[in-house]
Amino acid sequence: MPRFALLIEYDGTPFCGWQRQAAEPTVQAAVETALRRLEPGAPAIAAAGRTDTGVHAAGQVAHCDLGRDWDPARLVEALNHHLRPAPAAVLRAAPVPEGFHARFSARARHYTYRILCRRAPPALARGQVWHRRQRLAVAPMQAAALHLLGRHDFTTFRAALCQAASPVRTLDRLEIEEVALPEGVEIRFHLSARSFLHAQVRSIVGTLERVGAGAWAPDRVRAALAARDRAACGPVAPPSGLCLMRVDYDPDPFS
């Protein structure tokens, strides 16, 4: 049974996350429905990351097993035809070995979170950013972020319902940049790790936002991490600003 890797982008706004749910629209269900229009017996697919309700993806990766050896370009065209009008698209398809698994073969996952700081609400970026009317101080957030880099017990920064066996993760990258816009600024948080806990990125961003707003001192983030207590976390950032940008594999199936 040929296995294919799919590179997928989607606007998460109308979806109840990636993972299939009964009677709720999800990205997985939309892609599987499209696959079964091509091959009625196609089995369930697996993805690199189970994004939450309202979270977007520019580079989600899933794998599927099909009954015939499709030409990758034709498979992409056929899937996108059947995905309409859902705000999801397959960008590329590539044959992969039987042992490839979109989740377990991944070497790193890269996320970006965007905060738009300006008085006027977003129109073009509506649903794609966290809107704040006040500006955030970037330097204190960058100082606080240093406490989170590396290998730590991230109990403070994971959802109470997280099912991961261990709260220990290695955060390889946490960079914060300020981008000037014609009106206001956009703060972008870039985070990379081999794997993340449930709601870890949004918990980190929401906590750092408190530092940027002046409500927390940077050292309070270090204390929150050391507490290993969910109650020590700041508010969780809304899902609208979060996007799964890229997933790394070795070798890259799409290179």
Q: Which residues of 229-249 are buried (b: 16+ CB within 10 A; e: fewer)?
A: eeebbbebbbbbbbbbbbbbb
Least Cα distance to 13 among 127, 174, 99, 112 occurs for 127
Which residue stretches of the chain are H helix? 27-38, 72-83, 138-145, 200-212, 218-227
How many whole angstroms separate alpha carbon 110 and alpha carbon 186? 19
How many whole angstroms separate alpha carbon 3 and alpha carbon 97? 7
Query: Pairing relation of β-strands 242-248 and 56-65?
Result: parallel
How many whole angstroms separate alpha carbon 97 and alpha carbon 108? 19
Report how far apart, in Å, the C-alpha atoms of 212 and of each of 134, 189, 216 are: 10, 12, 8
CA 102 centroid distance within chain: 14
CB atoms within 10 A of CB 227: 13
Please identify every residue annotated as catalytic.
52
